Chains A and B, each alone.
Chain A
Amino acid sequence: MSLAEESSDSVFTEKEEEEESFNRRYTLWIKEALDELPHNFTITDPFLSGHPIVFASLGFLKMTGYSRAEVIGRNGKFFQGPKTNRRSIMEIREAIREERSVQVSLLNYRKSGSPFWMLFHMIPVFGRDDGKVINFVAVQVPISGRDHHHRKLTSVGDDVSSLDHSELVFGSCRREVCFGNFVQHQDHRALPVECDDDEQGLEDWEYCEASESEKLRAAEAINNVLSVLTRYSELSGRLVCGKRCCLRGVDCLSSSLVISLGRIKQSFVLTNPCIPDMPIIYASDAFLTLTGYKRHEVLGQNCRFLSGVDTDSSVLYEMKECILKGQSCTVQILNYSNRKDKSTFWNLLHISPVRNASGKTAYFVGVQVEASCRNTESKELRPETKQLSVVGAVRVAVRSSFMVTC
């Protein structure tokens, strides 16, 4: 019996939310327009929990052998595997946190399990008006290495002209003695023995240098995708661009912070005590589920919308005092949900001030536990520990994310 905190069965994030935010930014026609591009690329949304893929091009699907449904909602790591270079993975992760572009050769794995090298080129796409990262666009160009020999399988019916991006062509990569080239056809027909070695060998290559023309192809693809996104964002009025045009607003959270917070599966919110009326600036998915509200309904609001007629005002007063003094406290408070049954629930709420890298209090975190759910199942963390672990995870996330030079 697994004791993993949260089951990783819920691999896919809310498809609705993905589609909704993507369409709102770029209009309903964006997918058609992107489907007309020949390139292999994916688009991700760092503000959704798990930093999932929200769009994958047909070329990408062909290259990896997955269907669209199998890919949307996955994180890019899904295509990495045991032999993917750890340093390259780190470079990509840090580029995401620092909201900048990166270009690196990467070993990925297809649905069949077979590995392939590609040039991974990723850029952030910023909202023009708020300087926030809206998406990351990643282009994948399969790498052929230094020499560009192509050799198709010599079997009847093979069409020489149908060479496309999904077919892997090996050439001489940096450390590989040139055995000649190997084209892996869709039905996995193999050339003589060396080629099996090739496939074995390619996983163990230290690196695979992309050629200049491959790098150019990647750059071209990025530009094409970016211009489609820009054009369609103009239609919706929520413009994007490839460069950050204005400083990210104070209450705009960085991708790195949002990604870190997205790992925390319990219900919690972050509020900003430095802004009048201390609004919510972040709400976890679990908070939305617990309270029955949508994200856009709670962001920017003070938490008082959760209180109602029968909420004890002395408890509210106690909380206010703690906030003013910059102290933590735990209270039991009656909250009113927006769930279908509009039920009330007892919220065992813990609040605590959270400092950022400057050492000063930047936020307050509020962690909600529905009182009836406090089962003390013997093999799990005590509810108090669980609740405090959210506070701890938030502290690490906030402190670290503010250190990233932006």
Chain B
Amino acid sequence: MLKIKRVPTVVSNYQKNEAADDSVGCGRNCLGACCINGARLPLYACKNLEKSREKIVVSHEAEEPPVAFLESLVLGEWEDRFQRGLFRYDVTACETKVIPGKYGFVAQLNEGRHLKKRPTEFRVDKVLQSFDGSKFNFTKVGQEELLFQFEAGEDGQVQFFPCMPLDPENSFSVVAINVSPIEYGHVLLIPRVLDCLPQRIDHKSLLLAVHMAAEAANPYFRLGYNSLGAFATINHLHFQAYYLAMPFPLERAPTKKMVTTVSGVKISELLNYPVRSLLFEGGSSMQDLSDTVSDACVCLQNNNIPFNILIADCGRQIFVMPQCYAEKQALGEVSPEVLETQVNPAVWEISGHMVLKRKDDYEGASEENAWRLLAEASLSEERFKEVNTLIFEAIGCSDQEEDPEGTIVHQQIPNGGVFNQKSNRIHGGPITNGTASECIVLQ
């Protein structure tokens, strides 16, 4: 069993040090049966993308689009909690800058993000782990940390109810604040919170996250996801989101198309980026895109490969980044200088937003350093090819030629990796010696 010690980020004011927790007995205004009676939150039901006949792109945006309704809701509620002092620190008081260089990595000096307390042990060799109600989870957050309910509506129109009761019978999803924000507006999307889903991707939940990105209608509002083993702190299904009004380095990296699925989803690999990643875009509908990514992630989960997801460009672009940093760390293979920074390469770091704890690290932040750190998280070239093969098989892509037009294909998949016979075996990778069947999939 591989473990590492980490100081977990406190995302809720009710998160305690110890793993064991007093689950009952409140007055904390949580989401448990003890407190939920009479609880109300605004409900935002976004428009059903199919019904509103909106494909992926609003084709004729007339101007810099005005702040959308969802964005106002998120910002307005966040500012309310901000002024009420619910956050552990004022993130806007943390110095931040763009590191000079080709990619524009973003560095922030934030000494307060991590509690100075004893680190907890995290098991990093299993991407799929069952939900453990005794540990901290989002049913234990105080209701004041919840901003609103969010659901994929049935209608072609947005529906908003300023004060909707929370109905434990009717599985609801919520948006909550992250009390240790990376940036202003940092929230958590928790699908079907009372269902206590473990941290793993399923089709419905990813689609909800993609809906949120589309509704926010702001390319600078991205959603991110960390699998277990890729620096998720809490094993209760959640996505994160915040605003940063500039492109992430990940979004700037050049890409090379690898394959197009039958539903028109284009899959490319990133070129010249420290972490080898895939970009999914296109598709005849947003659901097609989301489902294809879900298929890929389920495959990764079943093969015990930790990964992160970035949903960008209002849900039009979804990056999937398999990684192996935690495993390397557990095996003592990460360079000491990188370890000393105590920066864990989770989704935001891999995307290019580095939160640094030490002033020296911040002052000396360079594109080179950032690159070196992130490169430690990347799969090797060879391993990445193997993983891609697994993914393409899982999404039913193996026979897909690159371009249905049949024109001159300049971008032959250079490694020929996709159709390589020897990559057909499914294996769990170096972490476990098991096969996929050892990982129980609970959908």
* Chain A interface (Cβ < 8 Å from any Cβ of B): 1-6, 8, 11, 13, 49-52, 74-75, 77-78, 80-82, 86-87, 90, 93-94, 97, 109, 174-177, 201, 204, 206, 256, 259-260, 262-265, 328, 352, 354-355, 357-359, 378-382, 384-389, 391-393, 395-397, 399-401, 403-405
B76 and A385 form a contact (CB under 8 A): yes
B408 partner residues in chain A, CB cutoff 8 A: 175-177
- Contact across chains for B245 and A388 when beta carbons are under 8 A apart: no
Given contacts A4-B69, A355-B93, 16 further A-B contacts (CB under 8 A): A3-B157, A90-B219, A90-B252, A175-B403, A175-B407, A354-B92, A359-B95, A359-B96, A381-B72, A382-B162, A384-B80, A388-B76, A389-B73, A392-B82, A395-B92, A400-B243
Is A399 within 8 A of B60, CB to CB? no
For residue B68, CB closer than 8 A to chain A, the reply is: yes
On whether the beta carbons of B61 and A359 are closer than 8 Å, the reply is no
User: Can you show 6 pairs from A to B with CB atoms below 8 A apart?
Assistant: A50-B62, A75-B62, A77-B62, A81-B59, A388-B79, A392-B74
With A78-B61, A204-B405: A404-B246 Cβ-Cβ less than 8 Å: yes
Say yes or no for B443: interface residue by CB 8 A criterion: no
Residues of B within 8 A of A (CB): 55-57, 59-69, 71-80, 82-83, 90, 92-98, 100, 106, 157-162, 183-185, 219-220, 243-247, 251-252, 255, 257, 281, 313, 316-317, 403, 405, 407-410
Q: Is the CB of A389 within 8 A of B407?
A: no
- CB pair A392–B410 under 8 Å, yes or no, is no
By a CB distance below 8 angstroms, the chain B residues around A395 are 79, 92, 184
Instruction: Point out the residues of chain A lying under 8 angstroms from B247, CB to CB.
Output: 90, 94
Alpha-carbon gap, A384 to B42, bound state (A): 14
Contact assessment for A357 and B63 in the assembled complex, using a CB-CB cutoff below 8 Å: no
CA distance A401 to B246 in the complex (A): 8
A81 touches B60 (CB 8 A): yes
CA distance A51 to B317 in the complex (A): 25
User: How many angstroms from the CA of A87 to the CA of B313 in the assembled complex?
Assistant: 10
Q: How far is the CB of B220 from chain A (nearest CB, A)?
A: 7
Residues of B within 8 A of A355 (CB): 90, 92-93
List 8 tightest A-B contacts by C-beta distance, closest first: A392-B75, A50-B63, A400-B245, A389-B76, A385-B76, A389-B72, A388-B79, A75-B63
Is A264 touching B158 in the complex (CB atoms < 8 A)? no
CB contact between A359 and one of B62, B94, B184 (< 8 Å): that residue: B94
A206 B407 Cβ-Cβ under 8 A: no
Complex Cα gap A357–B255 (Å): 30
Contacts of B66 in A (CB 8 A): 5-6, 8, 263-265
List chain A residues, Cβ under 8 A from B62: 8, 11, 50, 74-75, 77-78
Residues of B within 8 A of A82 (CB): 55-57, 59
A397 lies within 8 A of B245 (CB): yes
Q: What is the CA–CA distance of A389 and B83 in the complex, to the nearest angstrom?
A: 12
Q: Assuming A86-B316, A396-B185, is B64 touching A385 (CB within 8 A)? A: no
Question: Bound complex: CA of A184 vs CA of B77, how far in Å?
Answer: 53
Q: Which of B75, B80, B157, B252 contacts A396 (CB 8 A)?
A: B75
Please give the distance in Å from A276's CB to the nearest CB on chain B: 25
- Residues B98 and A405 in contact, CB atoms below 8 Å apart: yes
Chain A residues, Cβ within 8 Å of B98: 403-405
B159 adjacent to A385 (CB under 8 Å): no
List the A side residues contacting B219 at CB < 8 Å: 90, 93
Which of B92, B161, B244 counts the most A-chain CB atoms under 10 A from its CB?
B92
Question: Which chain B residues border A378 with CB–CB below 8 Å?
Answer: 162
Contact B69 A90 (CB under 8 A): no
Chain B hits for A74, CB < 8 A:
62-63
- C-alpha spacing A352/B184, complex, angstroms: 15
| Closest partner residue, chain B, to A96 (CB atom) | B64
Pair B63/A11 contact, Cβ less than 8 Å: yes
Closest to B243 in A: A396
- A393-B67, A396-B243, A401-B245 known; A328+B56 contact, CB < 8 A: no
Of B64, B74, B96, B157, which is within 8 A of A263 by CB? B64
Query: What's the minimum C-beta distance from A374 to chain B, rounded to whole angstroms?
Result: 14
B251: which A residues are within 8 A, CB to CB? 90
Residues in A with CB closer than 8 Å to B158 are 2-4
Residues of B with C-beta under 8 A to A401: 245
When chains A and B are docked, how far (Å) is the Cα of A191 from the Cα of B71?
48
Beyond A81-B60, A90-B247, whether A386 also contacts B72 by CB under 8 A is yes
Contact A403 B407 (CB under 8 A): no
Q: Is the CB of B95 within 8 A of A357?
A: yes
Most B-side CB within 10 Å, residue of A49, A80, A87, A405: A87
A262 to chain B, nearest CB (A): 6
Determine the chain B residues whose CB is within 8 A of the CB of A328 once the complex forms: 83
B407 touches A176 (CB 8 A): yes
In the bound assembly, the distance between CA atoms of A256 and B246 in angstroms comes to 10
Return B300 CB to nearest CB of chain A, in Å: 24
Residues of A within 8 A of B80 (CB): 384-385, 388
Q: Which B residues are in CB contact (< 8 Å) with A393? A: 67, 71-72, 75
Shortest Cβ distance from A356 into B: residue: B92
Structural contact, A403 and B59, CB atoms closer than 8 A: no
Q: How far is the CA of A393 from the CA of B246 in the complex (A)?
A: 14
Contact B75 A400 (CB under 8 A): no
B100 with A206: CB separation less than 8 A = no
Q: Complex Cα distance A381/B67, Å?
A: 13
CB of B356 to closest CB in A, whole Å: 14
